[in-house]
Amino acid sequence: MVKDAKKPRVLIVTPEVTYLPPGMGNMANYFRAKAGGLADVSAALVSALFKQGADVHVALPDFRTVFYSGVGPVMRKELSTIRSNMPEDRIHLAEDRAFFYQSGVYSNYPQENFKISLAFQREVINHIIPQVQPDLIHCNDWMTGLIPGQARWMGIPCLFTIHNIHTEKYTLEQIEDRGVDAASFWQGLFYERPPENYEESRNNNKVDFLTSGVFGAHFVNTVSQTFLMEIIEGQHHFIQEPIKQELANKWHAECATGILNAPDPSYNPATDKSLPATYGPDDHVHGKLENKRYIQQNLGLLQDDNAPIFFWPSRLDPIQKGCQLLADIMYDVISKYWDNNLQIVVVANGEYQKIFRDIVLHHGFEERVAVQNFDERLSRIAFAASDFVLMPSSFEPCGLPQMIGAIYGSLPVAHDTGGLHDTVWQMNTQQNKGNGFLYRFQDTHGLWWAIDRAMDFYFLSPEVREAQVARVMRHGKENFNHEVNARAYIDLYEKMLHRPLIGGGGGKKSSQSSSDGETES
């Protein structure tokens, strides 16, 4: 099916993206819609493919309000003129009023997200895929979960990437009422119960969007290998059985893998304009000290060049992020290292923010613990100012702060789970290995043990500690970047394109099996 073995046409279907290469069209710089890490990964992948000369196309919802945010009326008029005179060769905007006036990628109301998802997928299925005629389709998360079934029916290899385990469920009747004709590929979707036939299931057998993406796709990936295995092995009670079983089917068919995300390229302490002082591995001692002094002064912390700073970068969510563990031991940790002036900086929103602030107020820790609302610039400065990054997550599909911390010379203190397991390795100064401090058991004793190991490292001679931090920074920059991330996706694309599909294609209905990742004749 490949038009040109050297230059396959790839269509990336994503509800969000942070930037697109200028060469992809006159308006590429204005298509920015972000809700999470998916936007960065999509942008990096499209850019890497485009840079390598690939015939890459991207399908996006036309979030006009989001795209034009911050643009004045004169520029908005010019952009409207450009829009009316395009088409963009490689950027394909799905148009529908369901997302024209959205102020963000997702709504706070599930029914609105359903409308956005169906409007987007309808346009991709009915118009964009026929127009692009791709050799391979790459879909992302539940909002694109119906497209793999359609791609399988058409005989087009399809990769489905899970960034977020969230899903939605709706009936075929609801789906078709929004303009998606699922009758041709209904067998490529996953239902709450095994369907007897199309008519029987249309009105009362809901389609699981995320599981459908896995079921219908030819290959699947999560955003870390360990998180994939944790799902398959049933280590997370919140993950429903259908998605677990379908991922297991793909894994055993050798059609599932994990590919790590990577931080945005702007996370570079040598060029980060947010920092009071920039630095690299060779001059990190002076650079981090200047940032430490700045944050201590501006947040009202004790002015002490030798005070170890632990930074909390993640939302204060007790279900996932483990903030209750820090709350339980905060008093004891501060007290144990009182003479060392140990400090904690929190730059995050969430329900535990009030609890943290109450602890600080009750114990008079204002000069040792600072709790701030999330602010992008302050967060970047905290990465640069801190010595350690706290990540006691109960589960972590991938995680980015531990990678950013390593790049900025702030070593992660993390629970050994998911993406943290794949990116944090136990520090061993004698063997010149490791980049952080992992604990195995998710409880206060585990977190406290890891903090103690971090402090043991902090008490080493400056020469030893500085050499290790420089090594970690170099390793982080070389390995936690979008070039490495994109290369992994490109390798997977090549594997998919060279793996023959059996049956499908030609617009003919074909049966399928999620257990082997291939269509049957």
One domain for residues 343 and 454: yes
The contacts of residue 245 (CB under 8 Å, 6+ apart) are none
The mean predicted confidence, pLDDT, of the chain is: 88
Question: Residue 521's pLDDT band (boundaries 50, 70, 90)?
Answer: very low
- More confident of the two residues 72 and 174: 174
Asked whether the predicted pLDDT for residue 65 surpasses 50, the reply is yes
- The whole-number pLDDT of residue 159 equals 97
Q: Structural domain tally of the chain?
A: 2
Report if residue 124 sits inside a domain: yes
User: Hey, which residues does 138 pair with through a beta bridge?
Assistant: 12, 159
pLDDT-derived band at 140 (thresholds 50, 70, 90) equals very high
* Average pLDDT score over residue span 429-455: 97
Same domain flag for 291 and 413: yes
Answer whether residue 35 shows pLDDT above 80: no
Q: At what angle do helices 241-252 and 209-216 cross, to 10 degrees?
A: 10
Residues 256 and 296 in one domain: no
Q: Give, for 449, the enclosing helix (H) or strand (E).
A: helix 444-458
SS3 category, 67: helix
Residue 519 within a domain? no
Is pLDDT of 2 > 90?
Answer: no
Mean pLDDT of 194-202: 93
User: Do residues 110 and 62 share a domain?
Assistant: yes
- 238 and 288 assigned to the same domain: no
Domain check: are 304 and 420 in the same one?
Answer: yes
Q: Is the pLDDT of residue 516 over 80?
A: no
Do 241 and 149 belong together in one domain?
A: yes
Same domain (yes/no): 135, 190 = yes
Those residues whose C-beta lies under 8 Å from the C-beta of residue 353, and which sit 6 or more positions away, are 316, 346, 371, 373
Instruction: Looking at the structure, tell me whether residues 247 and 346 fall in a common domain.
Output: no
Instruction: Indicate whether 78 pLDDT > 90.
Output: no
Residue 513 lies in a domain: no
Question: For 402-421, b where at least 16 C-beta lie within 10 A, e where not — what string?
Answer: bbbbbbbbbbbbbbbbbbbb
Exposure class string for 489-502: b at 16+ Cβ within 10 A, else e: bbebbeebbeeebe
Report the pLDDT averaged over residues 372-391: 97
Which is nearest to 258 in space by CA: 397, 125, 141, 129? 397
Contact partners, residue 154, CB within 8 Å, separation at least 6: 129, 504, 505, 507
Instruction: State how far the Cα of 40 lies from the Cα of 48, in Å rounded to an integer.
Output: 12
Q: Give the chain's largest Cα–Cα span.
A: 74
Check residue 507 and give its pLDDT: 41
Residue 503 has pLDDT above 50, yes or no: no
- How do residues 352-365 score in pLDDT, each as one tens digit? 999 999 999 999 99
Residues whose CB is less than 8 angstroms from the CB of residue 442 and which lie 6 or more positions away in sequence, other chains included: 322, 325, 392, 394, 415, 417
Higher local confidence (pLDDT), 340 or 86: 340
Residue 289: domain span: 283-479
Domain assignment present for residue 507? The answer is: no
- 329 plus 206 within the same structural domain: no
Q: Are residues 290 and 200 in the same domain?
A: no
Closest Cα to residue 33, out of 77, 70, 63, 76? 63
* Separation CA 467–CA 282 (nearest Å): 9
| β-strand partners of 235 | none
Q: What is the pLDDT of residue 342?
A: 98
Residue 137 lies in a domain: yes
15 or 433: whose pLDDT is higher? Answer: 433
How far apart are alpha carbons 279 and 486 in whole angstroms?
Answer: 27
141 domain residue, yes or no: yes
- Whether 509 shows a pLDDT value over 50: the answer reads no
Cross-strand partners of 453: none
Identify which has the larger pLDDT, 23 or 201. 201
Question: Is residue 508, in this structure, part of any structural domain at all?
Answer: no
User: Does residue 483 carry a pLDDT above 90?
Assistant: no
Asked whether residue 275 is assigned to any structural domain, the reply reads no
Residue 4: pLDDT over 90: no
Query: Which CATH number do you get for residue 376?
Result: 3.40.50.2000
Do residues 248 and 396 both lie within one domain?
no
- The per-residue pLDDT for range 107-118, each reduced to its tens digit, is 667 778 888 899
pLDDT tens digits along 227-275: 999 999 999 988 989 999 999 999 999 999 999 999 988 999 999 999 9
Q: How confident is the model at residue 508 (pLDDT cuts 50, 70, 90)?
A: very low
Rounded Cα–Cα distance for residues 102 and 124 (Å): 19
Residue 518 pLDDT: 45
Mean pLDDT on 484-513: 70
- Percentage of residues in the chain with pLDDT exceeding 70? 85
Residue 204 clears pLDDT 60, i.e. is over it: yes
